[in-house]
Structure 1
Amino acid sequence: MPVQLSPARRGPSAFRSTRALLLGLTALTLPAMVQAQDAAPEDQIQLDKVVIVTSASSIATSIQDAPASITVIGQDKIEASGARDLKDVLRTVPGLNLTRGNNAISSVSFRGMPAGRTLTLVDGKRISSSNTFSRHYQGDLQTVPLDAIERIEVVRGPMSTLYGSDAMGGVINIITKKGSDVWSGSVTTEFGFADSNTTADNRNISAYISGPLAENISLAIWAKLAEIDAPKAPYAIVPGRGGDTPLYTSNGIKTKTLGTRLTWTPQQGVEWGAEAQFSRDNYLADSNGHDTNEVTKSSFSLSNEWQIGAGTLSSYLRYEDSKNKSWNGTTLNWDPAIKYTTTTLESRYTASTELGGRTLDYTVGGLISREKLVDPAATAGTIVEGSVDTVALYGEGRFAVSDALSLTGGLRYDHHEKYGNHVTPRIYANYDLGSGLMLKAGYSQAFVAPDLRSLNPNYQLNSRGNGCKPYQGPCTIVGNPNLKPETSDNYEIGLNYQGDRTEWEITAFYNDVENMISARRTNRTLPDGTPIFERDNFDYGKTAGIEAGLEHRINDDLTWTNSLTYIAKSEFKYGDFSTAYPMATTPKWNITTGLAWQATEQLNLSAEVNYIGKQAGYVIADGLQVGGGEQASVPPGQNSKAYYLVNVAAAYDLTKTARLNVGVDNLFNGQPQSQVDYRENGRLFTLGLTTRF
């Protein structure tokens, strides 16, 4: 008999909501009441090179002064690494893990949280194409070609105060290049040659060009054509209650992208922008069959920046439309498309003023958003559809309490059409210890609103096992209109050092999630006996650990880079579960070390070793029971044995405008143990050429 589980705890109490409001208001008003303190020591280091970031705060600041844990990957590092996509670039970020589900798709997760708690932005604007998929989506990190990227800002930890829902784990903000005063650009052609059935040949060409059309008017255009071949054969066949399942490392995919931006500056201090992007992804069948999916995405936006007094008013209006068609092998035609549209209007004003002789930088802003889903593919004979409107007001202030201490406080008020009002506070402190050393500490709340599918009782998702935890799969998961938002309390404390040749950081973090959204088993079954699970709020989820990074310039030509993530806790639990289960497919230890050597004026060599440890919170199935004596399952994707990934690359400047990149990814074909139902991309030989003009 199925186990009757106790109800999950419901939403935050009135006390917690009041506490959140008071904390946020205190964070915003406290700086005005604090007196100036002692100045920083005279030996404070002034760095020659300061990287300005905007994602960790509404106010532009340096990495060390940013009120958050942040990593910035500039264009020079992207080019020197020979990376072919953003996943290659992001692997070395502390606290970040490329989570691989049992569909073998790599997704980005932070600090032991599920991948769905990572928010991806382009120029600060949320992208939502993934909502046309319930699984297997590969597109968020492929939205912009590398040629068009100026830098990537990665914020580790929750940023719901500035960005709202889904930013509980962290934020990846892709900053694109701006239009230039002279015509210039680049074209990159790349090839990958596979040496294993765990990866496939691939090829792509991308380009970016920008320049003036007329006085005060500039144009930027970017484009990409890419293809990853479909796997020719599965790497394993897994028997299960629902029948044998072939396992493939990834879907083959063909991508076409075209984007353009027009910028007009009619006068000093005023800038208008208009942008449009179109793309189509064709997902390839496993063995010479018809394409399985066709995904089309289009987006349009208008933006304005206007200097008003001592501040800047920034606004944008953005519309995004995504469609996902599936091929029907019975009718030999495309099924009706899943459609997801979003319309967002956001405006924020950022300025600086003086309070008691000290600087207060502040931002106030607001947002109106509408999301709409039409999904005819979720349940046979039923169209799952719905929409939701969101209105938000937020404010953030950064006050220089003294030359050494600054406090940042933020507060966000969201009105969700289905969940009413929600208040999200944040407070963060930076204390300059002198000699290039900064102490950072912060507390914040975050929330995730259930998606439109999970709220619809007509929605059905068939899972092979990963969604059926802690029971064995397969199962069918249905929606629940009574879901509550997932909320969390998040803490971090760390040190950041910026020296002449050495930079390092170390941060300890703890996240306490309430009403974690998952699925519970019901007493119902389908006619074929498949158990029915229903979306529900679990009791809790907790993650804790340490992340660290070190970059040391051994000499002017040789740089040593390291990152480390240790997950001490990543678990969820509720009801009659006698055992806690891992929240995500996250290794307990994830360590990367690498060298970049400017061997000659033209030649740059690099090598990188990534150690991926045993699954954090690993669960052993033998003897493990759920209430009622039923045998529990081991969550799919667990790995009980460490392995290594080794990448080597070389970049050679053929001329002042042409660079040749060669390399080998996963040189020794490192893989998790054979029982795990996923594989890393196998050995891949790469060749690329970038030409600038």
Structure 2
Amino acid sequence: MNRPTSLVSALSLALASNAHAATAADAGAGIHELQRVQVTATRSERAIADVPNTVDVIERERMDELLVRDLKDLFRYEPGIAVGSSFGRFGLGDIRVRGLGGNRVRIQTDGIPVSDAFSIGSFSNANRNFVDLDTLKRVEVVRGATSSLYGSDALGGTVSFITKDPADYLQEGKDAYFGFKLGYEGSWDGLFGGATAAFGGERWSGLVAIGHRQGQEIENQGEVGGVGSARTKPNPQDRDGRSVLSKLVFAASESRRFRLTVEGNEDNADTDLLTSQGLQALTGAFNDSVVAEDRQTRARVAFTHEMDAVDAGFADSLDWQVYRQDSETTQYTREIRSGLAPPTLRDMREREFNFDQRMYGVQANFRKGFVTGGVQHELAYGLDLARTETRQKRDGLRTFLVTGVSTPVMLPDVFPVRDFPISETTTAALYVQDEMSFVDGKLRLVPAIRVDHYKLEPDVDNIFAEDNPGVAVSDISETSVSPKLGAVWHFADDWSLFGGYSRGFRSPPYSDVNIGFTNVQFGYTAIANPELEPETSDGLEAGLRFSGDAVYASVSAYYNRYEDFIESMRFIGFNDDGLMVYQSQNIAEAKIHGVELKAGVDLGALSEKWRGWSLRGAAAWSRGEGKGPEEVEVAPDVFEEQIVTRNLDSVDPLTATLGVVYQRDAWGAELAGRFVQRKDRVSDPSYYRQGGYGVLDLYAHWEFAPGARFNVGLFNLADRKYSEAGDVPVVGGASATLDRYTSPGRNLSASLSVNW
């Protein structure tokens, strides 16, 4: 039997499309999905039909119809995009796009990247779930590498959150707006409420949006209660959060605007970890109590200047912004242990994990149109400068309850410790893109290139030095060039071909370059690796689109090859002191390919008797495999390092969605289905293979008065017991606790919104 493989662990961490579009009063208005305008794929306003990428756009109206409260709700009907979650405590995790996730997908809010994810051990997990979706007016997802425009961390794609503006509420002749929303979400007994106010005049306008949410643990369909590792019901949890988004806009003229944005978000969760209570097999101790308190905060201040009519030789329009963003995750855990011999060893163990990231940056974007011969050029170029300081610390205290004596020693740690030194990273980038239109715009070529310079400077303080005596840390200075070439050909009135090549990269992360552990008692140490290379990708994509009066459809195929994946903490041998030595190294490669489809039809445009009816659907099929060195047992107790190829656990099976919609002037309903094939391809035959399933959801909305709307959704109509791929970790197929990862049964959500 093979040993657990580090390759699989590394790649599993790494590794329809808006088919449910907003439905207007006329059922036909919602089906022209390919005409939706996006800005992420080309850094300019372009209809999806005119960009050489697969792009998803989810508008505010659609989020309200689907009662979206979190990332899993947001991408519920987006095959090819998955949101992971963990059982017990930490909740939602990363966003995976085409099988690649974690910090390899860029997540940004108004162009500013959300902080990194970082996890180490069972008590420390900083995720990237920092955005209140009620503050957004639109979400855009570009699938595939977008490093040519957004640099590092855009290896798998880019998820752009775009927040509300005063102009979204203040129509011509309207200088004030007020609205509120109240709602309930049954899957976690959640209550939420929010209010938005906007005002405006000839020059000044502003917006304030506040929100609050509270609830309990997310339900599953586990049946085993009580305490201990056999429990499959969720741990009891109390959750609450709040957010504020404020914007002040000064219009110096019709074409010039200054905008000040202040945003804050906070989430708290208190968890009674019943699954960690009882007898602990590894230590022989008995946990009387294990409780956790987790807190996440993010604050952003940005000042933006936009000019729509520069009338200069270097640009027709431009925008720039300066910003600061602070993100922090604090996680506290308290264990009370008994059953130890002698009884005086009965103790309380307190641990606190802190991950703090502060970012300062400047962004500038310029656009210029010009003609050379018979070719129309739309040139976009700009710069992106950012400096980020990242601090991580684990602290702890062990108190013997009988004697009252306390100690910071909890082997193998002597607290406080840092798992990597305080790290300052600086990125400086220049990009340029030229959208060239030929033959009256029927053929568009889009070449782009970006040059990124990345610098890492570690700061060894007393905490890191005392925990890692004699461990050297390394600076890194890297320059990466990311080219791209895309094309769109409108070869007939309603038909077009699109596709291209893109190069992606990800700079060596600070947590891999200088991760530090030295523990003489347990016989190991970790050393820095200044020779780490950026992770890279080469991607090809081609597709066909049709956008008619009654029908739209898009099908695309892609192939992505990833090289130099970084494996954290790889065993490389023994040092002169006899300690096992671990080091992060570039060792893994991966290939992911697939096909994606989305389509819709307005039945009313085909026949008057079907007026108000429409269909929309999407599907995604993909395959992925990775290879790298592994220790393979070639004889009893004899292991040899070999290059092994395995399936990627992060790649989802065939997934499809289908929606049947009926829409009238003031009300509408939709029956939506989610269908997933059994997961047959796993990295090890002994791992659990998620079963296939089909789930139906029912939505309805009613505008019962001007400015008043009621939305309701009934999820999992048949009360089906199933597990989503993103919720199931890499576990053995014989595990007795698989029900932990099941999704909620039948549940109801509703919201009421009023505005004037």
TM category, shorter: 0.7 to 0.9
**3-state SS of 1:221 partner:** strand
Amino acid at match of 1:70: V
| Counterpart for residue 424 of structure 1 | 482
* Residue 205, structure 1, aligned to residue 193, structure 2: yes
Amino acid at match of 1:329: R
Match of 1:603 among 667, 677, 685: 667
* Shift in Å, 1:517: 2.2
Amino acid at match of 1:586: V
* Residue 400, structure 1, aligned to residue 437, structure 2: yes
Q: How does 1:120-135 map onto structure 2 within 5 Å?
A: 120-128=107-115, 130=117
| Counterpart for residue 648 of structure 1 | 698
Match of 1:678 among 741, 749, 753: 741
**3-state SS of 2:705 partner:** coil
| Counterpart for residue 20 of structure 1 | none
- Give deviations 1:641-681, integer Å, cap 9, x for gaps: 21223211211222122111222222323313995462223
Q: Percent identity?
A: 19
CA RMSD of aligned residues (A): 3.6
Q: Alpha carbons of 1:228 and 1:441: their partners in 2 closer, same or farther (altered >3 Å)?
A: same
Q: How does 1:619-638 map onto structure 2 within 5 Å?
A: 619-621=683-685, 634=687, 638=688
* Shift in Å, 1:441: 1.4
Match of 2:452 among 410, 414, 427: 414
Match of 1:545 among 594, 607, 611: 594
Q: Alpha carbons of 1:107 and 1:553: their partners in 2 closer, same or farther (altered >3 Å)?
A: farther
Q: Alpha carbons of 1:381 and 1:75: their partners in 2 closer, same or farther (altered >3 Å)?
A: closer
* Distance of 2:657 and 2:511 partners within structure 1: 37
Q: How does 1:44-55 map onto structure 2 within 5 Å?
A: 50-55=35-40
| Counterpart for residue 16 of structure 2 | none
* Distance of 2:602 and 2:220 partners within structure 1: 45
| Counterpart for residue 494 of structure 2 | 436
* Distance of 1:460 and 1:681 partners within structure 2: 43
* Distance of 2:51 and 2:518 partners within structure 1: 43
* Residue 192, structure 1, aligned to residue 185, structure 2: yes
* Distance of 2:181 and 2:6 partners within structure 1: 56
How many residue pairs were aligned?
611
- Give deviations 1:202-229, integer Å, cap 9, x for gaps: 12112322121x4311111111111231
* Residue 168, structure 1, aligned to residue 155, structure 2: yes
TM-score normalized by the length of structure 1: 0.80
Q: Alpha carbons of 1:460 and 1:377: their partners in 2 closer, same or farther (altered >3 Å)?
A: farther
* Shift in Å, 1:335: 4.0
* Shift in Å, 1:230: 3.1
TM-score normalized by the length of structure 2: 0.74
| Counterpart for residue 581 of structure 1 | 646
* Shift in Å, 1:301: 0.6
**3-state SS of 1:224 partner:** strand
Task: Tell me which structure has the larger Cα radius of gyration.
Answer: 2
* Distance of 2:676 and 2:580 partners within structure 1: 34
* Shift in Å, 1:371: 1.0
* Shift in Å, 1:493: 0.4
* Shift in Å, 1:74: 1.9
| Counterpart for residue 559 of structure 2 | 510
Match of 1:495 among 544, 552, 568: 544
* Distance of 2:385 and 2:36 partners within structure 1: 31
Match of 2:322 among 302, 310, 317: 317
* Distance of 1:652 and 1:293 partners within structure 2: 38
* Distance of 1:603 and 1:524 partners within structure 2: 67
* Paired residues of 2:220 and 2:742 also in contact (CA < 8 A): no
Q: Alpha carbons of 1:581 and 1:531: their partners in 2 closer, same or farther (altered >3 Å)?
A: farther
Q: Alpha carbons of 1:99 and 1:132: their partners in 2 closer, same or farther (altered >3 Å)?
A: closer
* Shift in Å, 1:420: 1.9
* Paired residues of 1:608 and 1:647 also in contact (CA < 8 A): yes
* Shift in Å, 1:89: 3.0
Q: Alpha carbons of 1:129 and 1:539: their partners in 2 closer, same or farther (altered >3 Å)?
A: closer
Q: Alpha carbons of 1:532 and 1:256: their partners in 2 closer, same or farther (altered >3 Å)?
A: farther
Q: How does 1:57-456 map onto structure 2 within 5 Å?
A: 57-100=42-85, 105=92, 107-128=94-115, 130=117, 136-137=125-126, 140=129, 143-146=131-134, 148-180=135-167, 181=170, 182-194=175-187, 200-212=188-200, 214-230=201-217, 235=222, 244=229, 253-286=239-272, 291-306=292-307, 307-309=309-311, 311-329=316-334, 335=352, 337-377=354-394, 380-383=415-418, 384=420, 385-403=422-440, 404-417=442-455, 418-456=476-514
Amino acid at match of 1:608: A
* Distance of 2:213 and 2:644 partners within structure 1: 44
Gaps of 5+ in 2: 9-31, 275-289, 336-347, 396-412, 456-475, 605-610, 631-640, 724-732
Q: Alpha carbons of 1:171 and 1:506: their partners in 2 closer, same or farther (altered >3 Å)?
A: same
Gaps of 5+ in 1: 9-46, 195-199, 462-474, 623-633
- Give deviations 1:21-54, integer Å, cap 9, x for gaps: xxxxxxxxxxxxxxxxxxxxxxxxxx89943211
* Paired residues of 1:71 and 1:154 also in contact (CA < 8 A): yes
Amino acid at match of 2:744: N
Q: Alpha carbons of 1:483 and 1:292: their partners in 2 closer, same or farther (altered >3 Å)?
A: farther
Q: Alpha carbons of 1:290 and 1:215: their partners in 2 closer, same or farther (altered >3 Å)?
A: farther
**3-state SS of 2:74 partner:** helix
* Shift in Å, 1:277: 1.1
* Paired residues of 2:387 and 2:424 also in contact (CA < 8 A): yes
* Paired residues of 1:558 and 1:596 also in contact (CA < 8 A): yes
Q: Alpha carbons of 1:109 and 1:584: their partners in 2 closer, same or farther (altered >3 Å)?
A: farther
* Distance of 1:49 and 1:71 partners within structure 2: 9
Amino acid at match of 1:381: P
| Counterpart for residue 13 of structure 1 | none
Amino acid at match of 2:247: R
Amino acid at match of 1:143: V
**3-state SS of 2:318 partner:** strand
* Distance of 1:365 and 1:264 partners within structure 2: 24
Amino acid at match of 2:382: G
Q: Alpha carbons of 1:573 and 1:554: their partners in 2 closer, same or farther (altered >3 Å)?
A: farther
Match of 1:594 among 635, 659, 671: 659
* Distance of 1:353 and 1:682 partners within structure 2: 57
Amino acid at match of 2:500: G
- Give deviations 1:233-283, integer Å, cap 9, x for gaps: 994889xxxx94756668753211112011111123211111111222112
- Give deviations 1:577-626, integer Å, cap 9, x for gaps: 5653343433220111111211x43321112111122336324435xxxx
Amino acid at match of 2:368: A
Q: Alpha carbons of 1:262 and 1:388: their partners in 2 closer, same or farther (altered >3 Å)?
A: same
**3-state SS of 1:433 partner:** coil
* Distance of 1:131 and 1:294 partners within structure 2: 15
**3-state SS of 1:329 partner:** strand
* Shift in Å, 1:173: 1.2
* Distance of 1:478 and 1:125 partners within structure 2: 32
**3-state SS of 1:78 partner:** helix
- Give deviations 1:394-438, integer Å, cap 9, x for gaps: 100011132321100101001111242110000001111213111
Q: Alpha carbons of 1:77 and 1:325: their partners in 2 closer, same or farther (altered >3 Å)?
A: closer
* Paired residues of 1:570 and 1:616 also in contact (CA < 8 A): no
- Give deviations 1:308-348, integer Å, cap 9, x for gaps: 11611210111111222222526798847431111111111
* Paired residues of 1:325 and 1:334 also in contact (CA < 8 A): no
**3-state SS of 2:646 partner:** coil
